[in-house]
Structure 1
Amino acid sequence: MIRKILIADDSNTERLHLTRILETAGFQVIAAQSGNEAKALAESQQPDLILLDIIMDDGDGYQACRAIKRNPATQHIPVIMVSSKSNPVDRQWAQKLGANDYIVKPYTDNDVLQQIAKL
């Protein structure tokens, strides 16, 4: 069961928006501002799910996803990429790196909650 969700996005507005959606739905939220911070928090906090932006400074979402999925301590954690990149190639690349799903910005509260419910 998913209770604790790690959000990694370099946009403060985006982090606050996702936090509001998730906390309203009853989830506990941990936030990271970069891919490298997300990797460290994934290992130390062991969230039940990671929502990962792709374009970030200090380690992009692709690098973070690859590292999380290669680390025995975190490889079991599902990852959903959340990005404004809507190109099918980006989705395929995210899947290849181990992402479980992909949400395109802008999204609705329902889009996010439905993706989480599918896991």
Structure 2
Amino acid sequence: MKKVLVVEDDLVQQKHICTVLASCGVEVVAANDGKQGLEKAKTENPDLIFMDIVMPEMDGYSACRQITSDEATKHIPVVIVSSKNEEADKVWAQLQGATAMVPKPFTDAELMAQISALT
């Protein structure tokens, strides 16, 4: 795994996730909302995407659905990282094409485990 896209509107969370992932030796690209995430998924062609759900412009569910249904990006696994952690949220994330879900608050180990699981 060489490149990971982090789509998170909370800049503190975004910076933390980016720092943890960079410590794994991957290149990290960041986007501030679902719309930017969708654009960067196409232009950056990351190996993995960590996606928040509640964001301005376009939520993570919509962005995930578009990424996983587009021929150019459907090969990219999307891991939802969200405080929306009810069973219905997990099922809905899977229906949108998400590979996995990491609940907030998360540990650094939970993020790194996703990198390990998908390499």
Which TM bucket (shorter chain)? over 0.9
- Give me the identity figure in percent: 41
Stretches of structure 2 that go unaligned for 5 or more consecutive residues are: none
Deviation at 1:5, TM superposition (A): 0.2
**3-state SS of the aligned residue for 1:19?**
helix
Deviation at 1:4, TM superposition (A): 0.2
Deviation at 1:45, TM superposition (A): 0.6
Deviation at 1:38, TM superposition (A): 0.3
Which position in structure 1 is the counterpart of 2:5? 6
TM-score, scaled relative to structure 1: 0.97
Higher deviation after alignment, 53-62 or 109-118: 109-118
Q: Distance in 2 between matches of 1:32 and 1:111?
A: 21
**3-state SS of the aligned residue for 2:50?**
strand
Deviation at 1:82, TM superposition (A): 0.2
The count of aligned residue pairs is: 118
RMSD of aligned residue pairs (Cα, Å): 0.6
Which position in structure 2 is the counterpart of 1:43? 42
What stretches of structure 1 move > 3 A for 4+ residues in a row?
none
**3-state SS of the aligned residue for 1:29?**
strand
1:11-26 correspondence runs (5 A): 11-26=10-25
Which position in structure 2 is the counterpart of 1:109? 108
Which position in structure 1 is the counterpart of 2:56? 57
Stretches of structure 1 that go unaligned for 5 or more consecutive residues are: none
Deviation at 1:34, TM superposition (A): 0.5
Which position in structure 2 is the counterpart of 1:71? 70
Which position in structure 2 is the counterpart of 1:29? 28
Deviation at 1:116, TM superposition (A): 1.9
